[in-house]
Structure 1
Amino acid sequence: MSAQAQQADHFHSLHRDGLLLLANAWDAGTARLIESLGAKAVATTSAGVAWSHGYPDGDLLPVRRLVATIADIVRVIRVPLTVDVEGGYSDDPAAVAETVAGLIDVGAVGINLEDGGGDPELLCAKIEHIKRASARLGVALFVNTRTDVYLRGLAPPERRVEETLARAARYRAAGADGLFVPGLTDETEVRAIAADAGLPLNLLARPALPAAAELERWGVRRLSAGSDISQSVFARTSALASGFLSDGDSRPLGADVMAYSQLNALFADR
């Protein structure tokens, strides 16, 4: 078994017990920093990756830039990497599988793939094509399927649990390994979906959610920071840059920074 195949198996195992916390990165530097803080795995944020390359989020990042970013990240980390591929950057399941195969080729062992506002059957077809491609490559890719029933309000509030579970059943039958339900925060609904989805449940960090220990008791197996960390970094950069451009005061620039030597050391042995 290859080292990548072993890493993929390990990534699967991280969803079986406890709660996997994923602080999403957007480039090699942030991925290495997150790994150095003790992360068991690293995930990307599609929004952060897109913004770092000067593109809006929403399946608009050129695939070649995504693959190059993932190759850069894999070079500097040693823990499993899962990639947010949005909707796969295509409505053609074969093209989506080809894109994902390119990510496996450079070292990814997991992906997030979303239904958005599209037909669940299309996502099922994408999953099936991806699973066949990953099998050919000898890597048990973890396919975490994201449904936007809550995020986009795709069903009335009283039917959201039912619709989410119906989609989970279809995605599971197509070969999905996990279920991501951003926007889900209510304890009763979380417990119901976690109990009946038949897939490890992934939530998106939200102020309404309790801390990790309580979420684990609810049955949640994965919690993602999403784009929040990158948004916070952009906000901090905006504040510092605007202040400096306004008055040229150097003092705020040196406050609350990581030491140059500490940052440089992160990459010295990579």
Structure 2
Amino acid sequence: MIDFTYEKKTTLQDALMQLFAIVTLLRSEQGCPWDREQSPKQVSTHLIDETYEYLDAVLSDDKEGQSEELGDVLLNAMMLLEMHQETDPAAGIEALNLVCEKLIRRHPHVFSDQKVANSSEVIDVWNAIKVDVEGKTHQKDDFFSRVPPSLPPLEMANEIQKKIRKVGFDWPDAQGVFDKVQEELAEVVEAYRNPRDEREDLEMELGDLLFSAVNLCRFLGFNPSLALHRSNQKMRSRFNALYQRAQAEGVQLNQENLAEMDRLWEEIKAERRLQHEE
């Protein structure tokens, strides 16, 4: 048993340090076996999960939930910090020093006398410093060498497209992107209708369709992962409502009752729109 007394802190500095102290105790020999067994890879996955839970609270305007989920995000960040401290006591300090130096270096319009007119110019300055000052550019034989290979496919597609855009290889307007999505959809239909044609690869055509949809999100200024996450949440919410209503009305969820399920689905969609929930 560890002798520790929780105190409700009144300053950000004290609250952060108390969280870090608790994390350190959890990782200690007298602490929690589960916490000690966690690795940076596992905690990084937890951090992603908690970030999405925080995002859900933001999207639903749940202020109490935002506070709780933000705490979980900070917990996992602190856990990663402690893990690095365990192998190198100076690692955490170095990480914080490096990010502070980088923020100051990449904001000369804030911490120096450089002028920018808008946020677009801020991005240009940021990218120029990464390349010209920090030397962070792609390898000679791999334009995408700085795109993390561990990214999930959806995020990787977005990063590939953003990197291509930086050198001006992009559509002049949104209509071209809309047309490309339609073109890729037509190729999916063609491959589906000709399954014996060895020149047709339905899986590849589906991938091209997804890639063009990600490109459309990116071109219109939306994050494709967030857009898909919101659609997933909407589908879960609507279908759970259908599931509950079907139970109340004695409707079995099966192919034979498709017409009844469609009726319930349309009712729920209409109600949600009236309530401005979507």
Taking structure 2 as the reference length, what is the TM-score of the superposition? 0.24
Higher helix fraction: Structure 1 or Structure 2?
2
Larger Rg: 2
Greater fraction of residues in strand: 1
